[in-house]
Amino acid sequence: MYCRQCGAEVPVDAEFCSTCGAETGRGKGGASGELVHRVGGLSFRRVLGGFCFVGAVLAFVGIFSAWAEVGGWVSAGISGWDLVSNGTVLGEKVGRETYACLAFAGALIALIGALAVLVFSSNKLFWGALVLGSALAVAGSAWGFSDIDTGGFLGIISVDRGAGLYLTLAGGVIGLTGSLGLRG
């Protein structure tokens, strides 16, 4: 049998795990016949939860970084947040862009879901929030990637895609990949 908390092998008649001290709950389902996968002393589920959290943080930080760089050497940048909150760039009012709102909502939902998965690792609702949020962050940033091209974004001639757009996209992909590994 194996301890459900730490994954250590536990004798069938033991009341407590000799490694972590957790009750085995003889007859109460405290020990399992299944081996808990472990990575460097941590359960694999906890490692994937941390992976998802890193992805969600990257997506969230990407929202506040430059999604579009104007003028080549980042003389002015338009962040995802500018596109969500109707900010002004170079004296021009930037309209609220749907894809940025979608990516922002996704990054926020993924961040909350990832935190909850780390704390309450077995709750399917939080896993669903993580999957949904990561997918929305990917969809919003991919949509933004196609909309922010090098020719005429927001009526500005010289625009390049910024690092924030790539961060949001990469964070969403990392969160989505990790969350699919957590499934089940």
Q: What is residue 30's predicted lDDT score, i.e. its pLDDT?
A: 45
Span of 3-7, 105-109, 167-171 with lowest mean pLDDT: 3-7
Q: What is residue 75's predicted lDDT score, i.e. its pLDDT?
A: 56
Residue 168 bridge partners (DSSP): none
Q: What is residue 94's predicted lDDT score, i.e. its pLDDT?
A: 60
Find out whether 133 and 109 touch, Cβ atoms under 8 Å: yes
Q: Is pLDDT larger for residue 37 or for residue 102? A: 102
What does the mean pLDDT of the chain come to? Answer: 76
Q: Pick the most confident of 35-44, 120-129, 149-158, 172-181.
A: 172-181
Question: Cα–Cα distance between 141 and 164 in angstroms, integer?
Answer: 9
Question: Cα–Cα distance between 157 and 78 in angstroms, integer?
Answer: 14
The pTM for the full model equals 0.67
